[in-house]
């Protein structure tokens, strides 16, 4: 019991993990801001500033984790926070008419499939680290969302749509990379 309490205490007091949890907690606020601005396709200065603040905290929590040593909880929570923000943000932007359904569904399918695949292997004791290309993919996804929720930028539909489709292309590409990684690096018959 003490080990569990000690682990939980360390988990809660880790600065990088606290920033990640704050990002997860802020996600519903971001989603409600996007949904409440349907007339502007989800764009508002409040949403853009919150989205930018969330991106900055993502960068800071990554720097803290690298400088102070990451935790297993952080390795789980950070990509979870990314997926909550990206998938929820894309769904909201579809609802308000900024994004088409097809690119949103493609991203959702890939993100959920890779997450389930990683959980499957984690259950067997095999950690699948994030590739650098997947980190770029997450950055481009976030940038596409930020373009879509920023007043003025949202009016440049070519930029919003181009960044969305670039994010989709990187999402598919990195999904294929994980598939090939699995075929070449993971055991054929897991225990």
DSSP string, 86-129: HHHHHHHHHHTTSS-HHHHHHHHHHHHHHHHHHHHHHTTT---P
Average pLDDT over residues 154-158: 94
**What's the pLDDT at 187?**
64
DSSP-derived letter for residue 10 is H
Q: Compare 174 and 5 and report the one with higher pLDDT.
A: 174
Token duo for residue 8 = 């939980």
pLDDT over threshold 60, residue 55: yes
Question: Any idea what the CATH number is for the domain that residue 169 is in?
Answer: 1.20.120.1760
Q: At 1, is the pLDDT very low, low, confident or very high (cuts 50, 70, 90)?
A: very low
Question: What is the average pLDDT score of the chain?
Answer: 87
Write down the H helix ranges in the chain: 2-13, 15-35, 45-68, 72-95, 101-122, 132-149, 157-185
**Tens-digit pLDDT profile for residues 80-136:** 999 999 999 999 999 999 999 999 999 999 999 988 888 887 787 777 777 889 889
Q: Is residue 191 part of a domain?
A: no
Q: What is the pLDDT of residues 38-50, one digit of tens each?
A: 999 999 999 999 9
Q: Is residue 94 part of a domain?
A: yes
Give the pTM: 0.86
> Any idea what the Cα angle at residue 80 is, between residues 53 and 108, rounded to 5°?
100
Q: Determine if residue 41 is left, alpha or beta; phi over 0 gives left, psi from -120 to 50 gives alpha, anything else beta.
A: left
Confidence of residue 13 (pLDDT cuts 50, 70, 90): low
Which residues span the domain enclosing 10?
A: 2-185
Does residue 18 lie within any of the structural domains?
A: yes
Give the count of beta carbons closer than 10 Å to the beta carbon of residue 35: 15
Q: pLDDT at residue 161 above 90?
A: yes
Output the pLDDT for position 189: 58
Q: What is the pLDDT of residue 9?
A: 47
Q: Is residue 71 part of a domain?
A: yes
190 located within any domain:
no
Residue 7, pLDDT score: 44
Whether 98 maps to a domain, the answer reads yes
Per the structure, the count of domains in the chain is 1
């Amino acid at each position: 019991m003490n080990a569990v309490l000690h682990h939980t205490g360390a988990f809660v007091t880790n600065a990088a993990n606290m920033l990640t949890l704050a990002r997860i907690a802020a996600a519903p606020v971001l989603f409600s801001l996007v949904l409440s601005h349907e007339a502007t396709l989800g764009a508002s200065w409040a949403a853009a500033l919150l989205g930018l603040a969330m991106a900055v905290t993502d960068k800071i929590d990554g720097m803290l984790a690298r400088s102070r040593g990451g935790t297993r909880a952080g390795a789980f929570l950070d990509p979870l926070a990314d997926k909550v923000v990206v998938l929820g943000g894309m769904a909201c932007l579809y609802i308000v008419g900024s994004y088409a359904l097809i690119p949103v569904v493609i991203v959702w399918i890939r993100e959920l499939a890779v997450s389930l695949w990683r959980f499957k292997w984690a259950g067997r004791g095999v950690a699948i680290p994030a590739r650098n290309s997947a980190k770029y993919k997450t950055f481009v996804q976030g940038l596409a969302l930020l373009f879509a929720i920023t007043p003025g930028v949202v009016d440049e539909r070519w930029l919003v749509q181009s960044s969305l489709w670039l994010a989709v292309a990187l999402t598919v590409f990195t999904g294929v990379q994980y598939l090939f990684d699995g075929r070449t690096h993971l055991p054929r018959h897991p225990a």
